[in-house]
Structure 1
Amino acid sequence: MIRLSVNTLLNFHPKAILAAIVLAMTLLGGTAWGALSLVDYVNTLDRAERGSRQAAAFLEGHADAVLDGGAAALARVADRLEEGGFASLPDKVPSEALVASRFGVLSILDADGRTVFGPSIEPDSGPASLLQGAGGVVELLHGQVDGRDSILMVRRISGHGGIPEGAVLLALPSSSLHTVLDVFSDGRHSVAGLFRLDGTRLAGIGGSGKGGTGIGPLPTLEPGVESGERDWTVGGEGVVIGLKRMRDFPAVAAVALPRAVVLEPWSSRLQHGFMMVGVSVVALFGLAALGWTSLRREAAARDALRDANARLEQRVEERTADLRSLNQKLVRALAEKERANQAKARFLSAANHDLRQPFQALRLFHHLLMERLKESRERSIAEKMGEALDSGEKLLHALLEVATLDAGVVRPNIAEVSIATVLDGVAAEFRGLAADKRLDLRVRGCAAMVRTDATLLTRMLGDLLRNAIAYTPAGGVVVGCRRRGQWLRIEVWDTGPGIAAEHLDAIFEDFVQLGNPERDRRRGLGLGLPKVRRKAALLGHAVEVRSRPGQGSVFSVMVPLAASESRTDAAVPAPAGRAENPAARLILIVEDDPVQSAGMQLLLESWGHDVLVAADGPAALAMLRAAPRCPDVILSDFRLPGPLTGAETVTRAAEQEGRPIPGIILTGDTGPERIREAVAAGCRLLHKPVTPDVLRDALNALGAEPVPARQSQSSAA
C-alpha cells in the first residue's frame, strides 16, 4: 500500500494538484449523481408498484361486493334445481329467479344446452363452455346480453352419479363495476379490471390476447393474496401491474400503469439533473480555469517575491553595515560627550572660582576707595562704579547658575525639609526689600514636612519672591501653602500689573522681560523665572502660573509631602486585632516591558513586599477586582499600551475601589505636563532611570500602613 505524506503531496506541481482535484471532483460528482439517479429510479418503480397493488385491492373489494349478492341468488336457484330436478322448474324456480333478477339476467340451460328459462346468453368462449367443468362451483365467464358486456356467473347442475343435467347462468352487467373503473379511465392506466385466472378479461379496460380481451397468463396466487410486477408486458408495452386474487371467486383484480408513464417524472428529473450536472461541470472547469490563472499569477508573484527578498536581504546587509558603522560613531560620540560633560563640569567649576576672584578683589578695592574719597563728586563716581560692579556680579552669578543647571552637574540632595524653615528664611531675606518699596509682605505659617532639596527650593522661592516684589508697584505679596492630596502647593501672590495669557509661556524663556524693552539692568536680567523652571525640572516639581491683567499673578510650586504627612492623608488603619508586618505591603506593578516588570518585581519582593503585575491599565483594573485586598501602592509606567496612561490607571483604580490609592509614576519624559498630570492624579513622579534608593525613599514617603483585606459578604453581614 502506497502512502503519500503531506510534504510529498505539497512537492507536486500546484497545477497538477489542481487538475487532479478537478478530475476527482468531476468523477465523484458524476458517480454520486448516477447513484442518486439509480436510487430514484428504483424508488419510482417501487412507489408505482405499491400504488398499483393498492388500486388492485380497492378494485377487488368493490368487485367482491358486487359479485357476492349475485352468487348467493345463483346458489339458491341451483340448489332448488338440484333438489327437485328440472321437473320442479315451473313450481320452485320462478320465485328464486325473481330474486336473482335484481342482480342481473338469469338463464337456465338443460343438458343439451337449450335455454329452458330466461333469455339466451352467448359466452365469448361458446355455448359448449357453459356445460363443461365441475358442478357445485361458480365459474366466471365473459359474454354478451342484449349487446352489453356482462360477467357470466355459471353454476352447473349435476344429477345422480354426477351426470350434468344443465347449468344456471346469472349475467351481471359490466357497468356495475364502472363506479370504480371510471377512476382508472384517466388515460394513464393501460389495464384496470377483473380477469379470469388464465388472464381473460371479465370486465374493465385494456388488455390484449384472444379477441383483445386478456393480459396473458397470470401468476398463481392464493385467494386474498396481493402481488405486483415491474416488468409485466401487455400488448408489447411494458407496464407496472398490481394483482389481487379474489377470496370467493376464481378471478383476479388487476391494475397496470405503463412504465413510460411511471418513469415520466423520473425522466424529467433526470433531464434536469443532466442540465445541473452540465452547469456544475462547466462551473467547475470555469473555477479550475480561474485557479489555473491564479496559480500562474501566484507563481509570478512568488518569483517576484523571491527576487524582492534577495534584493531586501542585500539592502538589509548594507543597512546593517551602515548601522554598525553608525553605532560605532555613536559610541565614540557618546564617549566624546561624556568627556565634554566632564570637561564642562571642570570648566564651570574653574570659571565659578576664577571669575569670582577678580570681582572679590574689585569689591575690596572699591571699599577702600570709598573710604578714602571725601569729595561728593568723586564719591558719586565711585558709587556709580559700585552699581556697575553689582550688576556685573548679578549677571555673572545668574549666567553661571544657568550654565551649571543646563550642564547637568547639579545633583539635588533630597531630604525631609520643614517648609516653615524655608519660608521663614525667604521672608527674612526679602522683608527689607519689600519694605523699601512700601509693600506688605505676608507669609502664612505652615507646619508641613516636604521631600525636596532645601537649598534649591529656597532659591526657587527667592527668585519668585524677588520677581513679585520687582513687578509690584503697590499693594503687597503673600506667600502661603495648600495641601493637594500627597502634594503641598506653595503659592506666591502679588498685586502687580498681571500678565496677558499669550505671554504666560514666554516669561519662562531666557532673557525675556515684559515691560522692559530698554533692558534696564536695575529691573533684572530676565533669568529669574527660567532658573525656576530649570530647578523645578531638576527636582521633579511642577511650576504653574495664573494671572489676571490689572489684578495680579499667582506663581505656585508643587512639592511632594514627606512620609509622615502622606501617611496622615493616605493610610487607612487596619482593623482591630490585625497583626501584620507594617513594612510588607501589596504593590501593583503596571509595566508593559516584561524585563523591567520582572526586575522591579524581584527588587520589591526582596524588600519583603507582595507584588501583583499587570501589562496595561485594563488588565490592572481586572486584577484589582480579583485581588484579595486593595493594593497599598500602585507603581506604574506613564506610557502604557491601550487606552489608559499610568496616571489614568491610578485614578480609575481609586474610583473602582472607592478610596484613594497612593501611586508612583515612572517616566523618562521630563516635560512639565507630565508633572502636572501626576499631580492631578495625586501621584509622585520619578524620572527614569530610578535607583533603588530613590524608589525606596519614594515608597517610604507614601507611608507603610497596609490596606485591610476585603471582607466577604458573610462576614460583612
Structure 2
Amino acid sequence: MLRLSYRALLSLHPKAVLAAIVVAVTALGTSAFGAMTLLDYLDTLDRAERDARQAAAVLEGHATAVLESGASAVTRVADRMEGGGLSTLAENALGEALATSGIGALSIVDASGKVVFGPTIGLGTEAMTTILHGEMPDDERGILLLPGHIDDGGAIVLTRRLTNRRGQTDGAVLLALPTSALSHVMRVFGDGHLRFAGLLRPDGLRLIGFGVPYLGPLPRLAPGDDAVESDWPVGGQASVLGMKRMDTLPVIAAVALSRNAVLAPWYSRLERGGAVVGLSVLALLGLSWLGWASQRREATARQALQDANSRLEQRVEERTADLRALNQKLVRALTEKERANQAKGRFLSAANHDLRQPFQALRLFHHILTERLKDPRDLSIAGKMGEALDSGEKLLHALLEVATLDAGVVRPNVADVPIASILNEVAADFRLAVEEKGLELRVRPSDAVVRTDMALLTRMLRELLRNAVTYTPSGGIVVGCRRRGQWLRIEVWDTGPGIPSEHLDAIFEDFVQLGNPERDRRHGLGLGLAKVRRKAELLGHAMEVRSRLGHGAVFTITVPLAASETKAEPSATPAAGPMEDAPERLILVVEDDPVQRSGMQLLLESWGNRVILAADGPAALEALRAAPRAPDVIVTDFRLPGSLTGAQIVTRAAEQLGRPIPGIILTGDTAPERIREAMDAGCRLLHKPFTPDLLRDALRAAGTERGATRQAAHQSAA
C-alpha cells in the first residue's frame, strides 16, 4: 500500500506536490506554535496560582505567629474574668493584663464602651456596638477581629466579650496589635498596584494589607484550608487570588496577582513567536513562488519540445530532403530538453535545501518553547531573546534569588562541613580584588566542623567579603572564627568608614545602599546583605552586625558545631561510652501544645526511649521530683505558659538535682537573643520546623555530653 501511495504521489503534477508540501509545513508549524502557546498560557496561569497559594501560606504563617500570641493573651485575661465580669479585674486578671504589655496595647471597657483599664484603642462607634452587643464568632474562644488604630498607627484589634455572674454582657477585653509587626511581610507580597496582600475576615473586611480595601465576600474556607481563584475581581481588575485560612482564628491570608501582570510575559512571547512564524510562512511562500516559476518555465520548454516533435514528423513525411534540417532541429530540441532537465534538478536540489531552513527554524522555536516548559522558573530565555535586555540580567537573577528565599522553595542540604575549606575558597576568590585596592586580607585558620549547607554558607560569606572589600578604602579585612560552647561565630572585620547606628537594621533591607545616592550599578544593587539575611533565616543561623563610626564594622554568622565537635574523649571503661549504647534513655519532654507533645512522645519512644511529659515549668519540676531517676536529656519548647522559659527550666532542673543535665531547646524564633540564652544555659537549639534526623543528632550529642559528665563525676569520687 505504501508503494502504491508513493507511485500515486509521483504521478501527481509537480505543482500539486509543491503546494501540498507548503500547506503541510505551514499547517504543522502553525499547529505546533498554537499548541506550545496554549501550553505556555496554561503553565503561566498555573505557575501564578501556585505562587499565589504559596505566598498566602507564607503570609498566613507569619500572621499566625503574631496573632496567635495576641489571641492567647486575650483568652487568658478573659478566662480569668469569665463569669465574674469587671468586678474580678483587680483580683483575678490585673497581673495577666499587665503582662501583655510586651505583646500589644490591652484595654478593658465596660458595657457602655467606657475604658476601665489600659489605653484608648481607636474604634468606631459601630465597631464598639458590634463588640458589646453584636454577634460574636462561634468558635471556642469567641474572639472577634477588627481594624483599628493605636498611637496614631494602624492596628489589628482582637476582642472578647465579658459576662457577669448573671450571664449578661459586662464589658470586653481589647488587644491592639500594631500592624507594623506584619508590614514588612506585606511589602514582600503586595505593592498596592499590581499585587494585593492582606489579612481579611471571612466576611471580606480587611484587617491589614496593601491594595484595595475590600475584596468582596470570600469563599467559605474551613480552618487550615487554602484555595485559589484564577479570575477574582480586585479593584476592577481580574486577578489570581490565593487564600489560606488560619487554624485557630477566623482570619484569611490573601495574596492577589493581577492577571494582566501575570500574562504580560506570555503576551510578549506570543508576539515574538507570531513574528517568527509569520516570517517563516513568508519565506515558505517566497520559495513556493520560485518553485512555481520554475515549473512554468519547465512546462513551456516541454510544450516547445512537443511542437518541435510534431513539426519534425510532418517534415519527415512530406520532405525527405529536409531530413538533415529536421535532425538538426531535433538535436537542438534534445539539448534544450537536457538543459531543462538540468534546471529541474538544480531547482529540486535548491528547494530541498532551502525548504529545510524554515522547517529548522520552526523546530528550533519548538525546542526553545519545550525547554521553557521543562523549567518554568528559569526566565533567562526571555533575557536571551534580545540584546536589549542584557543590562538587566544581573538584577533579574538577584530578584529571582530573593523571591525563592521568601516563599520556601529553597531546600537547604545540611551536612557536617569543615569551616576551613569554606574560608579558604572564599578568601581565594577575593585575593586579586584585595590586592588591586592595596588592602590586606587575613584569614585566621580553624579546624572546626559545623552543621550547615555548604553552598549557602559559602555564598553568604562571599557577599560579606564583597561588601567589606567594596566599602574599605584602606587598611585590611580579617576573617576568623570564635567557639562559643556548641556554636561557632564566623566574623568578617573591616577597617572601613563604619555604619551609623540608625542604619544597622536598614542595611539588610532590599535595595538599601549607604553612600551611593546616585544608584551606581558598579557598587552593586543593594541586595547582597538582604540575601545574606534571608539565607541565614533559612538555615536558622543568627546574623549580627556591630560597628563604630570611623573604625569599621564586623558582621557575624553564628553556626552550630557538628555533633562530632561536642563529643567527649573516649575513656577506657565501657561506662563512659555514648548514651546510645545504653538500653534506653529517660527523656523529659516539656511542651504546652498537646498535639506536638503527643507526637514527640511517639517519636522518642519509637527510638527506644522512656519519656516523661510536662506541659509547663512547674509541672516539669514536679515530674523531676517524682521521677525514679534523673533524666538523661530535657527536650523543651522555649515559650511555655507561666513565668519559666525552656532555658530557665533546664537551669532550675540542674539546681534541683545538683548536677547539669543536657538540654535541647525547640523554638521557631531565629533571633540572636534565643541563641545566646541557649548558650548561657548550656543547651543545644533546634529551630522549628526540624527533621527527625536533626533531633536524633542533637540527642546523640547530648548523650555524649551526659556520658562525659558521668565519667567526670566518677573520677572526682575516686
TM-score category (smaller protein): 0.3 to 0.5
- Larger C-alpha radius of gyration, 1 or 2? 1
User: TM-score, normalised on structure 2?
Assistant: 0.46
